[in-house]
Copies of this chain bind each other. A is one copy, B any other.
Amino acid sequence: MIVRFGLLGAGRIGKVHAKAVTANPKARLVAVADAMPQAAADLAGQYGAEVRTIEAIEAAADIDAVIICTPTDTHADLIERFARAGKAIFCEKPIDLDVERVKACLKVVDAEGATLMVGFNRRFDPHFQAVKAAIAEGQIGAVEMVTIVSRDPGAPPADYVKRSGGIFRDMTIHDLDMARFLLGEEIDTVSAQASVLVDKAIGAAGDYDSASLMLFTASGKHATISNSRRATYGYDQRIEVHGSRGAVAAENQRPVSIEIASASGYTRPPLHDFFMTRYTEAYAREISAFIDCVESKSPASPSGADGLIAVALADAALKSVEEGRAVKVSEITGPLADKSVFQGR
Measured CB to CB, the residues of A under 8 A from B are: 23, 126-127, 129-131, 134, 139-140, 142, 144-145, 147, 149, 151, 189, 191-193, 195-198, 210-214, 216, 219-222, 224, 226, 228, 230-233, 242, 244-251, 253, 255-270, 324-326
Task: Count copies of this chain in the complex.
Answer: 4
Listed from nearest, the 10 A-B pairs whose CB atoms lie closest are A195-B220, A246-B262, A233-B261, A325-B325, A130-B256, A324-B326, A232-B263, A247-B261, A267-B267, A265-B267
Instruction: Give A267 to B134 CA distance when docked, in angstroms.
Output: 12
Instruction: Give A269 to B260 CA distance when docked, in angstroms.
Output: 12
Instruction: Give A220 to B262 CA distance when docked, in angstroms.
Output: 22
- Known A193-B216, A267-B267; judge A224-B222 contact (CB<8 A): no
A242 to chain B, nearest CB (A): 6
The reply to whether A147 and B226 form a contact with Cβ atoms under 8 Å apart is yes
With a 10 A CB-CB cut-off, give which of A139, A231, A242 has the most chain B CB atoms. A242
Instruction: Give A299 to B209 CA distance when docked, in angstroms.
Output: 39
The reply to whether B255 and A248 form a contact with Cβ atoms under 8 Å apart is no
Other-chain contact of A257, B195, B213, B250, B326 (Cβ < 8 Å):
B250
Contacts of A261 in B (CB 8 A): 231-233, 246-249, 270
Closest to A263 in B: B232
Instruction: Give A149 to B325 CA distance when docked, in angstroms.
Output: 23
- Known A210-B222, A226-B222, A267-B264; judge A248-B258 contact (CB<8 A): yes
Instruction: Give A59 to B343 CA distance when docked, in angstroms.
Output: 60
Other-chain contact of A210, B130, B144, B147, B267 (Cβ < 8 Å):
B144
The reply to whether A258 and B249 form a contact with Cβ atoms under 8 Å apart is yes
Task: With A129-B256, A130-B256, A195-B222 given, name 14 new contacts (CB 8 A).
Answer: A126-B256, A127-B257, A134-B258, A134-B260, A142-B197, A144-B228, A212-B224, A228-B242, A232-B246, A249-B259, A251-B257, A251-B259, A266-B269, A267-B267
Contacts of A260 in B (CB 8 A): 134, 139-140, 246-248
A selection of 27 A-B contacts at a CB cut-off of 8 Å is A23-B23, A127-B258, A131-B258, A134-B258, A142-B197, A144-B197, A145-B210, A145-B228, A189-B193, A193-B214, A195-B216, A195-B222, A196-B220, A197-B220, A197-B221, A212-B214, A212-B216, A233-B261, A233-B262, A233-B263, A247-B260, A249-B259, A264-B270, A265-B268, A267-B268, A325-B325, A325-B326
Other-chain contact of A220, B151, B210, B256, B264 (Cβ < 8 Å):
B210
The reply to whether B127 and A326 form a contact with Cβ atoms under 8 Å apart is no
The reply to whether B210 and A127 form a contact with Cβ atoms under 8 Å apart is no
Contacts of A211 in B (CB 8 A): 222
Instruction: Give A244 to B23 CA distance when docked, in angstroms.
Output: 39
